[in-house]
Structure 1
Amino acid sequence: MSNTEIILNVDDNEPGRYATTRILSRAGFQVIEAGTGSEALRLARSASPQLVILDVNLPDMNGIEVCRQLKTDPHTASIMVLQVSATNVALLDRVSSLQAGADSFLIEPVEPEELEAVARALLRLHRTEAQLRRSLAERELLLREVNHRVKNSLQLVLSMLSLQGNEFREAGAREIFAKAIARVTAIASIHERLYQDNDPLSIDMHTYLNGLCAELARAGIGEERHADLRTEIEPLRLPTENGVSLALIVNELVMNALKHGRPVDRPAIVHVKLRRLDSGQGQLIIADNGPGLTASASREAIVASSGLGSRLINMLVRQLNGQLRIEDADGYAVHITFPLQPAPTWGPKS
């Protein structure tokens, strides 16, 4: 046992409180005392004990309510609570204590050996949980550092691609490099968001895809005329790997729509929609009001040919275990339906 561990003994009965403190002190524990619920809450916050031995009957508030407040306060939630009582010993009383967050319950009178043994067991559990919280905190810092370094590395790649692309005189080569830069930018921006997010294991698709589409609209890929890029992104958090796949798909299809999906007789409109279906699947739709495949054979290159964009999209759809469907009426639309994977839970340090 660490000599910094503190037990808070809460009992309004002075002789009983003295007896419990004496047992614990003789066992080598550091013990502080409280006679009321409000005093117990104050000492729990100021002295940071690792264990509270808490009587149910207190003069100002019920010990079960004290336990509930301890367990719902982030500053005291990790404290172990041993509820004790000589009168409130019915099954319902014990269940109520445990439902309020108590870690154990003892019926008084308690033999000194049992009290000491239970106290040591709960303190061992507290040390184990504390170590887990430290490990989670270290893991969080590591993930953030990894995402930060990946983002910086990708920014270096972007700079190198930009410098290399400026050396090409041929328009086709410059366009290839521009697409490569856009793909790397999409990935880099995800890692930047993961570095800033409270949850580095998943990505907020609503915020990210809206930002990505705004960047693509400002870039004006291959066309100086204005295009109205409209987004309808439902609030969804997806595992990072799924978020990266969707982001790259959106990047490819929106760039294609901005270049090939502009009608000649009316303003260009591109829709990007992401929603949750009742079937538990997700659906991504990217549609424009352009000429469609029949009037522009080059549009087919994005999904039906052996080009890099086509191969990339089909590979990403397979990674999502999704299905791709094309509509070519009143424009051009790609529908991608995929099973929604639950985002991994992230336990921030408490």
Structure 2
Amino acid sequence: MASSSDFPQYQDGDVTIVVSTSKVYRLHSHTLRRVSDFFRNAFENGEAPRLTAAARRDGHTPYRFVLVQQHSDSDDRGAFISLNPITARAARVDLSGQDEDKCWDWLFGCFYGITPAFDTSTFGATVLDCSNLLEVADTIAAVTHIREVVDLALLRQDKVLWPSIATNPVVWAELGRRVKSPAIFREAVVHIVGKWKMLGEATKGQLRAATKELCQRKWDELELAKRAIEIRIAGHYPEFLCRNHVDKPHRTGYANDIYMWMALSCFRQYVSQSGNDGMNRQAEDGGYAWYKQFSQGGDAYLDHDAMRAFHTYFPMSSKACSVLESHMNVLKEDMKVFVKDLMVVRTHIDPATMEEVIKPWLTCTKVDKEDLPWYVLEEGAHDQ
């Protein structure tokens, strides 16, 4: 039966856990065995000491673990050592600096279905609390059990979570991997691949080997797709221009399409020039701005003013200018189909919103279930 203190003290618990001079927990070995690999191994490596009647009257438990710092570093979370419950009082353990740490309350509370009281006043405070909980869970190999709690706490920060991931996806990819959050990990990978050319080698080096390999593979696949799309854009002919040899086309038939041929010539020069200027997939944004104009069509590129510049070299009547622009618009409509897949948004943040504060990038990368690192590991373990 739980008490009304900050954290329940189970009177029937058979494990005493000393985290600090003011934090002593009495828990159940069967619960700890289920949620923590550390405690599972500790309980399986030896039998519990038999307590005398006097020891039981004094409140001793068969198991007793004390948290000790291994280094002088203030960030050291320490490690648990197992002590004889009868002679433990003689052990000298330095527990200074741990009294105010609520993380152990949160961690052990999770084992008993108690939701952590994270600080939700700011997004940064929530992330810090989640990170601290992950750290203490890692000391007893219990991250798997608390990952859903952390994932849910972060996802509740919807409005600020996704922009934060877009800004710093490398850090979030690691966090998403640790808590096995498909939503966070996918979001981070999509942004990493999209801004791959913007990231320096040092930043990419912060990625875990498996995550970096995944991002590199997705980037290579995207580059191959973009190259094929650019070839289609540069070599496209509207269907009605094509002729069948069997029909024995004549000069008049080709002459009737002169405006489309002119539009095609102008369009291809634009594609060639902008590609030479590095506006296509070679651009820092991976070609996002370039492909976006093709997806929009209309006045997004080769607009009326651009066509007027063309006519300074090739003057035409007003009506002819209008006809040429009409044919150019037909050509632009054809381009939309080619770049459609590149403009798919697979993130929770709208690129239009991104454009207000940062230089956007492609967010079309698809991260399947099979791409998740933990899925691969679990499948591999299962196969063995």
**TM-score above 0.5, yes or no:** no
Q: TM-score, normalised by structure 1?
A: 0.34
Higher strand proportion: 1
Q: TM-score, normalised by structure 2?
A: 0.32
Higher helix proportion: 2
Relative CO higher for 1 or 2, CA cutoff 8 Å, sep ≥ 6? 2
